[in-house]
């Protein structure tokens, strides 16, 4: 009983440190990683209930619109999200975020399926080819030896001839989800859900610059500090190093 009493301030401090975004599962991983003890998630759930602490995260649904593609590719990925080597399979997508009165910002990102890290990202005022092309350029510049299977939905940027040429020039193989099948890009959608529930939905953004300033901080937190059970309770970049060590 004394041990669990000692856990209460640790839980409260971790909850406040992360501004209330930790649910009991993330809290369990964080405490077990950062302290010399092991406690199960059921116990953490009960202790958080005693403290009346609940994750402040909430979810929103994503809206979709149809486009007419110039180029299409087979769904080569076919929901095979398994990978044990960085740079083998990349997913990409663009999401919309609002600010102020009617303002919209767009975030384009690439996610690696082996370590679930965000490889590159770009924030822009418009959801256009420039946004997506720059995201790919950054990823390729930082990881020139990567020749991944590159999977996306059928958004107009990804079905353009110019984007296909950029992939060909980088020796990447294109793969596309079927129309209106967001489950085919599931891990990317899961990341958007985390980013929005743990950062975007928690406050009101009055300007583009406010939004632009916090997104890099969240992605840095996600890559370097956010533990994931599916990654053996490591962060994405820790898990990348682990994969190298066992290769």
Residue 64 domain-assigned? no
Q: Would you say residue 57 has pLDDT above 80?
A: no
What are the phi and psi torsion angles at 174 (to 5°)?
-85, 140
What CATH number is associated with residue 182? 3.30.420.10
Domain shared by 44 and 100, yes or no: no
Domain shared by 139 and 187, yes or no: yes
Domain shared by 43 and 93, yes or no: no
Please give the share of the chain, as a percent, with pLDDT higher than 90: 56
Closest CA to 173 of 70, 74, 67: 74
What is residue 1's predicted lDDT score, i.e. its pLDDT? 53
Residue 207 domain-assigned? yes
Domain shared by 202 and 94, yes or no: yes
Please give the share of the chain, as a percent, with pLDDT higher than 70: 88
The more confidently predicted of residues 63 and 43 is 43
Domain shared by 220 and 112, yes or no: yes
Q: Which domain holds residue 40?
A: 2-50
Domain shared by 159 and 222, yes or no: yes
Residue 72 domain-assigned? no
Tell me the three state secondary structure of residue 74.
coil
Number of domains making up the chain? 2
Q: Would you say residue 58 has pLDDT above 60?
A: no
Domain shared by 127 and 193, yes or no: yes
What is residue 45's predicted lDDT score, i.e. its pLDDT? 83
Domain shared by 18 and 105, yes or no: no
Q: Would you say residue 227 has pLDDT above 50?
A: yes
Residue 176 near residue 170, CB atoms below 8 Å: no
Q: Would you say residue 232 has pLDDT above 80?
A: yes
Sequence-distant (6+) residues with CB within 8 A of 179 are 66, 154
Residue 140 near residue 97, CB atoms below 8 Å: no
Residue 71 domain-assigned? no
Domain shared by 39 and 98, yes or no: no
Domain shared by 234 and 140, yes or no: yes
Among 44-53, 67-76, 205-214, top mean pLDDT goes to 205-214
What is residue 180's predicted lDDT score, i.e. its pLDDT? 54
Last residue of a domain, one of 50, 65, 81: 50
Q: What is the mean pLDDT of residues 31-36?
A: 84
Residue 160 near residue 70, CB atoms below 8 Å: yes
64: left (phi over 0), alpha (psi -120 to 50) or beta: beta
Q: What is the mean pLDDT of residues 153-168?
A: 91
Domain shared by 133 and 192, yes or no: yes
Q: Would you say residue 64 has pLDDT above 50?
A: no
Q: Would you say residue 59 has pLDDT above 70?
A: no
Measure the N-to-C terminal CA separation of the chain; round to a whole number of Å. 43
Tell me the three state secondary structure of residue 110.
strand
Q: What is the mean pLDDT of residues 179-201?
A: 81
Report the chain's mean pLDDT, rounded to a whole number.
Answer: 87
The more confidently predicted of residues 24 and 149 is 149
Q: What is the mean pLDDT of residues 125-136?
A: 96
Q: What is the mean pLDDT of residues 177-193?
A: 76
Which of 130-134, 185-189, 228-232 has the least mean pLDDT?
A: 185-189
Q: What is the mean pLDDT of residues 147-163?
A: 91
Residue 15 domain-assigned? yes
Which of 149-158, 177-186, 200-209 has the least mean pLDDT?
A: 177-186
Residue 201 domain-assigned? yes
């Amino acid at each position: 009983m004394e041990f669990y009493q000692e856990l209460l301030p640790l839980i409260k401090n971790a909850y406040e440190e992360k501004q209330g975004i930790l649910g009991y599962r993330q809290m369990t991983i964080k405490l077990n990683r950062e302290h010399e003890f092991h406690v199960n998630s059921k116990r953490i759930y009960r202790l958080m209930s005693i403290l009346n602490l609940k994750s402040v995260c909430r979810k929103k649904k994503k809206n979709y619109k149809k486009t007419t593609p110039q180029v299409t590719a087979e769904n080569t990925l076919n929901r095979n999200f398994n990978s044990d080597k960085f740079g083998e399979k990349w997913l990409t997508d663009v999401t919309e975020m609002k600010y102020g009165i009617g303002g919209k910002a767009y975030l384009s990102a690439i996610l690696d399926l082996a370590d679930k890290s965000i490889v590159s990202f770009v924030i822009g005022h418009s959801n256009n080819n420039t946004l997506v092309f720059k995201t790919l350029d950054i990823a390729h510049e930082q990881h020139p030896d990567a020749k991944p299977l590159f999977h996306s939905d059928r958004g107009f940027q990804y079905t353009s001839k110019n984007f296909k040429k950029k992939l060909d020039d980088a020796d990447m193989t294109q793969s596309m989800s079927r129309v209106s099948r967001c489950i085919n890009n599931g891990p990317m959608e899961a990341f958007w859900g985390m980013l929005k529930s743990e950062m975007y939905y928690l406050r009101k953004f009055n300007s583009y610059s406010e939004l632009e300033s916090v997104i890099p901080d969240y992605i840095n937190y996600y890559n370097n500090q956010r533990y994931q059970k599916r990654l053996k309770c490591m962060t994405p970049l820790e898990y990348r190093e682990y994969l190298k060590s066992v290769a």
